Structures are given as C-alpha cells and as structure tokens.
Structure 1
Amino acid sequence: MSPIGREEAARRAAEELLKSPYERESLPDMLLRRFNQFVGDLADAALGNGPVGGIIASVVILALVVAAAALVSWQLRRMSRRRGLVTGGLYGERVRTADEHRRAAERLAGEGRWSEAIQERLRAIARDLEERALVDGMPGRTADELAAEAAAALPDLARELTAAARSFDDVTYGGVPGTPEAYATMAGLDDRLRQTRPVPLAVAVAGEAS
C-alpha cells in the first residue's frame, strides 16, 4: 500500500470528524458538559485527595451552587418585573408625572383615541396618588391593586376606583373599545380625587381592622 500524503490524511481526518459520533455540539450543551465535568472533578478531589483538598473542593462547589442560585433568582425577578410592565402594570417604561399623563390623555381624547385616553387618565390618577403619598410607588402595580390600596385612604371613592380599574382593564386587555362617556367618567374621578382629602390614618386602620 502506498503511503498517504499530507493532503489525503487531512481530508480523511475531516471526513471522520464530520461523522455522527463527532458532530459538533451546541454551545449550551458544551458549556453544560464542561460545567458538569468541572464539578465532577471537584467532587472527585473532595473524596480522594485528603482532608485539605476535600475542604477546598467542597467550598468551591458550595460557592458555585450559591452563585447559580443567585443568578437564577435574579433572572426570575427581572422577568417578573418585565412581565408586570408588559402584561399587568399601569405604566410603560418611561416615567411621567401625573400632569404629563393628564396632558397626554387630553391630547388623545381630542384625537378621538378613547381607549388610549382612558389608559393615560388612569395613569394620571395612579401617579397623582403616588405623588401625594396615598399609595406606594410599587413597580408593576395593576389597576386592581391600585384601586384596592387607594380605597383604604379614600373609602368614599372606593366603588368609583374599582370601576375605573375595570374600565382600564377592559380597554387594555379585554378588547373593549373606549368611549367618550367612559373617558369623561375617568376624568371626573381624577378631578374629584385631586380635591378629596384622605381619611386620617387611625380611622383607615380602624376600618381595616373591623
């Protein structure tokens, strides 16, 4: 048999690597495999390299587990906040004042865009309540959560707050078209809320307790 030249050897090696047992794995699979191999090596060191090596390996493994848990927890919180903004929260990513939301609502109403005007007017209500410290500035708050929290400080308007939250949800998630009447109701509630004094804290606490 004649000797194999350099080019022929390279070609055969490339063909061999392309066969199924040597197919290139994906990056996540490769990283997972190497991580598992690294942890396995540390575990072997913990079991077979004496007390000092075992302690060091155990500490490293524990640190890796804690770091992985922290990373997963952080990612879940990040996804939760983002999901709250997109699917259930009142505000978008841009922070506006109550007056800015009101002006936007009036502009949208003037253009006949009633659904968006209703959304902006409830956002004005929510921001105004936050600016007056009647509700907490909780990220990702839903309209229903706003109504429930505001009702503790403004019990006389609890029913209207609940109706406003329902109107917001209808036009935002329920596919219900906004109307001039619904917007006028929302704007009227906004005006009354700005003129209403909250009940004293002791009275609100007593009412919740009863």
Structure 2
Amino acid sequence: MTVLSVLAGFLPAETPVDPDRNEARRWAIEELSKPQYAEAKPSWFDKLVNDFLEWLRSLNSEGPGLGQDWTWPLAILLALALVVTAVIVVRPRLNSGRKRSSAAVFDEETTLDAGTFRSRAASAAALGDWNTAVVEQFRAIVRSAEDRTVIDPQAGRTADEAAAQLGRAFSRSQAQLDEAARLFDTVKYGHAAAEAGHYETLRVLDSHLATLKPDYQGRPGRGLAVPR
C-alpha cells in the first residue's frame, strides 16, 4: 500500500490525491494565504536589517582586496556617527531642560512684603485653591528672609537658589527648604496639583524660620546678606 493510497482514505472522495501542476499551484496559493502565514512574515524592520547585513556581507565578496577588515571599520564608523549625532542633538536639549527645571520665585519684581504674600496664601487656602496657596506661601518664606536681610534681594532667583541660600543661613532646616523648593517647582513649573497638607507644611516652615536666628553654618551659597 502506497503513502498516497493511505492519505486518500482520510481525504474526501472528490479531493484529487495526485494533482496536476495547476491544481498543486492553486493548493499552495490557498494554503499560504491563510492568516497564520501572513503573521509569520518578517516586518519591514526585519527586512531593513537583513538588507543591511546582506550589504555588509557583499562587501566581503567584492574583489580579492576586500575582506572583513573593510566591514568592521565601516560598522564602527556608523556607530561613531550615531554617537556624535546623539551628543550634538540630544545633549543640548537635556541641558536646556535642566536650566528650566527650577522656576523663578517671583513672576516679576515686586515690592510686596512677606505679610502680603502670607495673606494671599491664606485667602487661597480658604477657597481651596491649594496651588496658589503653596506658591504664595513659598514666596512669603523667601520675601521674609529678604525683609530680615538674611538674604539679599536677587532678580530672577529660582526656588532651588532660594533653598540653597536659606539653607546656608538656617543650616538645620536645609532638608525642609529643599523639599519646599521642589514642591514649589512641581506646582508652579510642573503644573502638579497641590493639597492642603502641602500648604500647611510650608506655613509651618515659614513660622519656624521666623523664630530662628541665622547661623550661616550651611553649605555656601551666593546671594546671602552679610551676617549682623
């Protein structure tokens, strides 16, 4: 008994077991058109990579003087070109992002005193506007230090700079000041949503700093007033 006769027992009677050329071609087309074969096809990226690898291999066969010594230097040059492109294009964007990571404390130069900023913060808190309350309360902290001549007034001072300068004057409060600056930045610059607890933390810090005498024992920072 042949293999074909065995298979014939499992196939419908009308299905030809020994097809001619045209019938076999039709079967192959129908079989390959099934979804599972389409999903198994390589993607455009796979084709691109394969074409590139084939091109590199072709360099090894073009003439007796070209061998693997030509392929690897070319691959290294391509890698170096990608690195240089990343340094030229990406790094400046990262640096500019770092420069904008901390927002200026005051939108514009103003003569408002710390008490006014505290009142603004309290009014915003009463309305449940915690974002405004946090921003105004942090400004009250910085302006209070300027009013007390703990730090000198400085145009365009960022929250990070203010925290560093105040931390120099009030060394034991450096961690709280750094956290206050991060909170200010995420609300003012990062557009994060503040909560009642955030405002209360800044309010307590403001009250605490108002009772302290500067020790100027923290890390050095520019913009400090001369100790008195």
What TM-score range do you get, normalising by the shorter chain? 0.5 to 0.7
Question: Is 2:115 aligned against 1:90?
Answer: no
Aligned partner (choices 197, 204, 211) of residue 188 of structure 1: 204
Summarize deviations over 1:32-63 as a string: whole Å, max 9, x none: xxxxxxxxxxxxxxxxxxxxxxxxxxxxxxxx
Give structure 1 regions of 4+ aligned residues with deviation exceeding 4 angstroms: none
Q: Does 1:116 align with 2:135?
A: no
Instruction: State the alpha-carbon separation in 2 of the partners of residues 166 and 88 from structure 1.
Output: 10
CA–CA distance in 1 between the matches of 2:146 and 2:190?
26
Alignment of 1:122-201 (within 5 A): 122-199=138-215
Matched with 2:122 is 106
Q: AA paired with 2:104?
A: G
Normalising by structure 1, we get a TM-score of 0.54
CA RMSD of superposed structures (Å): 1.9
* Secondary structure in 2 matching 1:88: coil
Please state whether the residue corresponding to 1:141 is helix, strand or coil.
Answer: coil
Matches within 5 A, 1:33-112: 88-93=103-108, 94-112=110-128
How far 1:88 sits from its partner (Å)? 3.0
- Residue 134 of structure 1: CA displacement? 1.1
Q: Matched residue of 1:95: which SS?
A: coil
Instruction: Return the letter of the residue paired with 2:175.
Output: R
CA distance in 1, matches of 2:104, 2:112: 14
> What is the match of residue 24 of structure 2?
none
Q: Percent identity?
A: 34
Matched letter for residue 168 of structure 1: F
Deviation at 1:148, TM superposition (A): 0.2
In the other structure, the counterpart of 2:27 is: none
Match of 2:38 in 1: none
CA distance in 2, matches of 1:108, 1:168: 15
C-alpha displacement of 1:92: 2.5
| 2: CA distance, partners of 1:88 / 1:122 | 12
Asked if 1 retains the 8 angstrom alpha-carbon contact of 2:103 and 2:188, the reply is no
Deviation sequence 1:165-210 (CA, Å, 0-9, x none): 00000111112101000011010000101011111x5xx38x75xx
Structure 1 Cα separation of the partners of residues 168 and 211 of structure 2: 17
User: Would the aligned equivalents of 2:114 and 2:140 in 1 still touch at CA under 8 Å?
Assistant: yes
